[in-house]
């Protein structure tokens, strides 16, 4: 397990899938704002649940976020588009409702940064979020990401286009002491 101050990242376990599915995927209003793919009605037990790890592809790393004090499953963390040639990747997190607003998001992002920079040797990490997602923008900024720009009307959300904010961090801007 990768450990931060309050959040840990561990491999996804089968028992995590129904919980993440029920609290994150089936919350359609939130899910359509956090994923660029369209929402589909998928039963939690199905092999194609988006929270079930299907393979160990070299271009993604899937984690379950754990609240270290209680050991409880707190959410989902992902690094995808891992590009070993350009040494870059994208990252994102999603926390179960009762774990939001408790510092786990920022800590989980910091731990992901440690994984990307110290373990994978990446040069750049990027997060994209809706321009009105103040919580994710604050989490990324507290973790050391810098707003780099926006993509106008780049996301289709609830029947309309919305702007995306691009946040980035370079290896030279990362502070290992903040990453657990």
Q: Which domains does the chain have, with CATH numbers?
A: 2-179 (3.40.630.30)
Neighbours of 104 (CB within 10 A): 25
pLDDT in tens, 27-47: 888 888 888 888 888 887 767
> Can you tell me the distance from the alpha carbon of 167 to that of 141, in angstroms, rounded to the nearest whole number?
8
C-alpha distances (whole Å) from 178 to each of 6, 11, 54, 73, 161 are: 12, 22, 31, 22, 35
| Angle of the 134-142 helix axis to the 104-114 helix axis, nearest 10 | 50
pLDDT in tens, 91-125: 999 999 999 999 999 999 999 999 999 999 999 99
């Amino acid at each position: 397990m990768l450990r931060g101050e309050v959040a840990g990242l561990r491999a996804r376990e089968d028992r995590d899938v129904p919980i993440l599915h029920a609290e994150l995927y089936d919350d359609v209003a939130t899910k359509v704002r956090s994923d660029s793919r369209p929402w589909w009605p998928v039963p939690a037990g199905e092999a194609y649940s988006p929270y079930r790890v299907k393979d160990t592809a070299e271009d993604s790393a899937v984690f379950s976020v754990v609240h270290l004090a209680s050991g409880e499953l707190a959410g989902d963390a992902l690094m995808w588009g891992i590009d070993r040639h350009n040494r870059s990747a994208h990252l994102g997190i999603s926390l179960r409702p009762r774990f939001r607003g408790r510092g786990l998001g920022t800590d989980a992002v910091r731990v992901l940064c440690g994984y990307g920079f110290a373990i994978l040797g990446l040069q750049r990490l990027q997060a994209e979020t809706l321009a009105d997602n103040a919580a994710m923008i604050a989490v990324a900024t507290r973790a050391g990401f810098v707003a780099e720009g926006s993509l106008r009307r780049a996301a289709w959300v609830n029947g309309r286009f919305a702007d995306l904010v691009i946040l980035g961090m370079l290896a030279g801007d990362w502070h290992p002491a903040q990453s657990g």
